[in-house]
Amino acid sequence: MKNRIAWIVVVAGVGLVSAAPSQAVPIFSKTPSSDVSASKSDLGQDRFADSLMLGEAATAQSVTWRGIYGNANTLTFPLSFDLTLYSDAAGLPGAVLSNTPVSFNALAEITDTGADVYELFDVYEFQADLTPTLLAAGTPYWFSPLADTNNDVDDDWFWTTGLGGDAYAFKFDADDDGPWRLITDSSSFPPSPFGGPFYFILDDEPLAVPEPTTAMLAAAGVLALASRRRRADKRDRSAKSEIANVGPIGH
């Protein structure tokens, strides 16, 4: 009986540990540029948006993007962003479909990619869940990450470039409702000395669920230990009952 209970506990534990986290599946992706450059997309300054179109309808639930902090190349936490998906209006960002504020509070929450811009500015990768947004097939949309670096006196945030796509848009003042301006790869007037289009990936699932916590595994162990104690108590009571039934031993 002991062996069978131990096997059940082990199997339960394996089930908890081996439960695979959900994996995000790209519904739209770009490749990071080998010759990385970047453009400022920061609250109170410029804002950039990049175009996308899906081959099949899907719900965007998480996103990956990259960027740098300049001019000092330092990180001042929290790192805050406003992630926005827009509809298309005559080839420019239109109505807001979803808006998701996110913050990163420690270096462990982002990734240093090892790449850099001009061998001066480290390229960091960011990942976050989005407000789930249904995107139709064959329909243009726009994505825009806007940083808020008001807590950083030395740096602004710049969105780094990616391969794929042929148009991006910007506005000179990220705070106003002024017009978006379209920029294409063939444009002779990029809005900054860096340019675009930009790197990002949209996924149809939230970010991976963390592995089961130690507390969950400990709970399974406590249940097993309690079961063993109950069986031990039952054996002790049975043994005492047998001794009592034997009675005094005669001479």
Cβ(87)–Cβ(99) under 8 Å?
no
pLDDT of 68 > 90? The answer is: yes
**Tally of helices (H runs) and strands (E runs) in the chain:** 2, 15
pLDDT of 229 > 70? The answer is: no
**What is the structure's pLDDT at 245?**
43
Among 62-76, 202-216, 222-236, top mean pLDDT goes to 62-76
Weakest-pLDDT range from 71-75, 99-103, 131-135, 247-251: 247-251
Q: Where are the domains of the chain?
A: 26-203
Higher per-residue confidence, 168 vs 8: 168
**What is the structure's pLDDT at 8?**
25
Residue type, 143: F
The CA-based angle 140-67-197, given to 5 degrees, is: 35
**What is the structure's pLDDT at 234?**
47
Whole-number Å distance between alpha carbons of 144 and 81: 10
Dihedral angle of Cα 123, 172, 180, 147, to the nearest 10 degrees: 40
Weakest-pLDDT range from 25-39, 41-55, 94-108, 237-251: 237-251
Higher per-residue confidence, 63 vs 249: 63
pTM: 0.74
Residue 83's beta-bridge partner residues? 100, 145
Whole-number Å distance between alpha carbons of 232 and 212: 30
**What is the structure's pLDDT at 154?**
95
pLDDT of 221 > 70? The answer is: no
Report strand pairing: 162-163 vs 31-32.
antiparallel
The pLDDT mean for the chain works out to: 78
Weakest-pLDDT range from 103-112, 170-179, 189-198: 189-198
Q: Average of pLDDT values for 71-82?
A: 97
pLDDT tens column, 12-45: 333 333 334 445 569 999 999 888 899 999 998 9
pLDDT of 194 > 80? The answer is: no
